[in-house]
């Protein structure tokens, strides 16, 4: 038997701001990961590994002045967005092969 629970969240102003920052940072890292993979594809190079992307798009980007705001959110959010980008690519190529319905 599977149970499902539904919860309604009513974040206050501070929580809304924190969520908006987290979502925005996740979106930026996701888009950067997609761009890095597309650049590698166009250059006919192998796709960067998850470790390489994490190092370049999260760790090194936090040290750059124009991306220092990535340090304001949890690293877990940023790492999950990289995993989501990886899974999106895997699903896309699996659907091309016909292994995914």
Q: Kindly give the residue spans of alpha helices, DSSP state H, lying in 43-74.
A: 50-54, 60-63
- Model confidence, pTM: 0.86
In a domain, 5, yes or no: no
List Cβ neighbours of 8 (8 Å cut-off, separation of 6 or more): none
In a domain, 44, yes or no: yes
pLDDT, position 3: 87
Identify the sign of the CA torsion 60, 63, 65, 71: positive
In a domain, 7, yes or no: no
In a domain, 6, yes or no: no
- The series of mean pLDDT values per 10 residues for the chain, 101 residues long, is 88 96 97 95 92 93 93 95 94 86 64
In a domain, 4, yes or no: no
Range of the domain at 69: 15-97
pLDDT, position 101: 64
Domain total in the chain: 1
In a domain, 3, yes or no: no
């Amino acid at each position: 038997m599977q149970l499902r629970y539904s919860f309604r969240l009513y974040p206050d102003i501070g929580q809304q701001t924190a969520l908006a920052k987290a979502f925005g940072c996740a979106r930026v890292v996701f888009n950067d990961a997609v761009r890095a993979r597309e650049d590698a594809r166009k250059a006919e190079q192998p796709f960067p590994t998850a470790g390489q992307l994490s190092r370049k798009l999260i760790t090194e980007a936090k040290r750059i002045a124009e991306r220092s705001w990535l340090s304001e959110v949890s690293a877990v959010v940023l790492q999950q967005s990289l995993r989501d980008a990886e899974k999106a690519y895997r699903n896309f190529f699996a659907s091309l092969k016909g292994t995914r319905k």
